[in-house]
Structure 1
Amino acid sequence: MQVIADILLAAGAFGAGFYCFILSRRLKRFSDLEKGVGGAVAVLSAQVEDLTKIVDTARAAAGSSGAELQELTRKSESVAHRLELLIASFQDVAPAEEAPVQAPAPSPSPKTNKTPAPGLMFQRTAQGVEEAAS
């Protein structure tokens, strides 16, 4: 009986040792920096650092853009206020009486006595092309 118990105990020890050997190989692959989860964690950590730098840069750019936008808004409001004052001052000035401007009468050009055919828009004359009288 003692021999059977020793054999079973030795088999159990060998089984546990084999299990530990397989487990250690799996853990090595799991924590490998190039292929395993350790590599993925290292890559993600580097990406997080890059993204943090990019976000900080974007935040600084947004802050400076916001300051520039506030300055331009302040300037545009002052210009708008000055324009309102100018428009109000122009409304106070009485409009000057102006004579209506008449277009100069076209000088008579020697035309041929031919009347243009219906539907023609232009008529050829000795001085060039002129619009046909409708």
Structure 2
Amino acid sequence: MPVDLDHERISALLPHRHPMLLVDRVEAAVPGQSLEAIKTISASEPCYAGATGFDYPAGLLIESFGQAAALLWLISNPSAAGGLPMFAAARDCWIEARVRPGDVVRHLVRLEQVIDGAAFASGESRVGPRRVAAFASLMAVIKPSK
């Protein structure tokens, strides 16, 4: 069943809050398979305070993709939704192009495998037709809530 999540629903699923909630909308998702999310880059984000350059930080781009992957995992496994998703590892990830204020980043995430409280995802991030990042493997784990 396809899923579309607005900002309110994303906030209910992820523990992140401003300024670290880095997914604005999920436009399409097929639980257990794939998700398409967007992040709009704005010059008013805290990372640009006092900045002299306007390339979006690579670490925040990776975190935004990771949050999109966590959303896919959480909507695919409702039992995981009670825990805290935590980034564990990344392998073979490339930042291929600059991302700047005004860009709309589209994360295309695939859920590769879920094993004993760990999830593996892959995918890419695009700005329009241009690929800006590729992710061969991201791993996350769920820390159970107490």
Same topology, TM > 0.5: no
TM-score (norm 1): 0.19
Instruction: Give the number of the structure whose residues are more often strand, by fraction.
Output: 2
Q: Which has the higher contact order (CA 8 A, sep 6+)?
A: 2
Query: TM-score scaled by structure 2?
Result: 0.18
| Structure with greater proportional helix content | 1
